[in-house]
Amino acid sequence: MPQPRVLVLRAPGTNCDQETAFAFAQAGGRPEVVHVNRLLENPRLPLDFQILCVPGGFSYGDDIAAGRILANQLHHHLAQTLEEFKAAERLILGICNGFQVLLKSGLLLAGELGQAPATLTWNDSGRYEDRWTLLRVAAPGCVFLQGIDRLELPVAHAEGKFVTRDTQLLAELEARNQLVLRYEGREIEGQVLYPANPNGSQANVAGVCDQTGRVLGLMPHPERHLFATHHPQWTRRNQAEDHGDGARLFQNAVKFFE
């Protein structure tokens, strides 16, 4: 089976594209970092790939709101192509800023641009949070999270608080097993306390999947924990394996096409 081709999308301000491409290459994929202008010139280009990843960073400087401008571009110029991409049972991953883009463009949860059913807003702390977090896989069915129970990954964001339009929608997403990744730590009345939940997300949500299980957005950075030595306490952990927790997400994506 040929290696699945991975389109790692970048825009002005994206800063995790090379690390993300490296992660897919380590997992056995064939990544290519592509500027959004190439897609605007040739909207059919994504159909040459099996995996689309929108990596982390600060696309367009997070002007207006995090991920908003890139989300507008995808929605207005590439919506038809990306819907075809999804319908062909290919994979889409959004990491941090990429998660913000997927939500605000309507690619992850159906909704009109500017009226998304859920969004990512300012952290409760009111500042940028850069720390390691414990995570648990809270629902089955997501391709990227197959065989994973828990993860330890870093976050690095200022607008990572997941909120839904209303509590009914939150309950519906939970019932449909779409709230797939949650922050883990000390709780009061079901809410994980800061800093274990670094942004105050509703229901401690760190990642959301679409109903097919093939589109995932998450705030933590799996590409920053590919090897055991990436962890700040790696010398104390004496891990038998040399890979980090994040590597398995990329391996699962590549394995899906075997």
Token representation of residue 171: 């309950």
Residue ranges of domains in the chain, CATH in brackets: 5-255 (3.40.50.880)
Residues noted as catalytic: 96, 221, 223
Q: What is the tens place of the pLDDT at every residue in 60-109?
A: 999 888 999 999 999 999 999 999 999 999 999 999 999 999 999 999 99
> Which residues make Cβ contacts (< 8 Å) with residue 158, sequence separation at least 6?
62, 66, 122, 123, 127, 128, 129
Rg (CA), the chain: 17
Q: Above pLDDT 70, what percent of the chain?
A: 97
Average pLDDT in the chain: 95
Closest CA to 146 of 180, 183, 99, 96: 180
Q: What is the mean pLDDT of residues 230-250?
A: 87
Q: What is the DSSP letter of 92?
A: E
Token pair 């507008």 is found at 72
Q: What is the mean pLDDT of residues 200-208?
A: 98
Q: What is the tens place of the pLDDT at every residue in 11-48?
A: 999 999 999 999 999 999 999 999 999 999 999 999 99
Whole-number pLDDT of residue 113: 53
Q: What is the pTM of this model?
A: 0.96
Q: What is the dihedral of CA 16, 27, 47, 90, to 10 degrees?
A: -110
Q: How far apart are alpha carbons 106 and 140 in whole angstroms?
A: 22
pLDDT at residue 154 is higher than 60: yes
Q: What are phi and psi of 248, to 5 degrees?
A: -70, -30
Q: What is the DSSP letter of 199?
A: S
Distance linking the first and last C-alpha atoms of the chain: 6
Whole-number pLDDT of residue 89: 95
Whole-number pLDDT of residue 240: 63
Whole-number pLDDT of residue 111: 62
pLDDT at residue 191 is higher than 90: yes
Token representation of residue 179: 């709230």
Q: How far apart are alpha carbons 62 and 64 in whole angstroms?
A: 6
Whole-number pLDDT of residue 1: 60
pLDDT at residue 110 is higher than 90: no
Q: What is the DSSP letter of 147?
A: T
Whole-number pLDDT of residue 112: 55
Token representation of residue 208: 């959301």
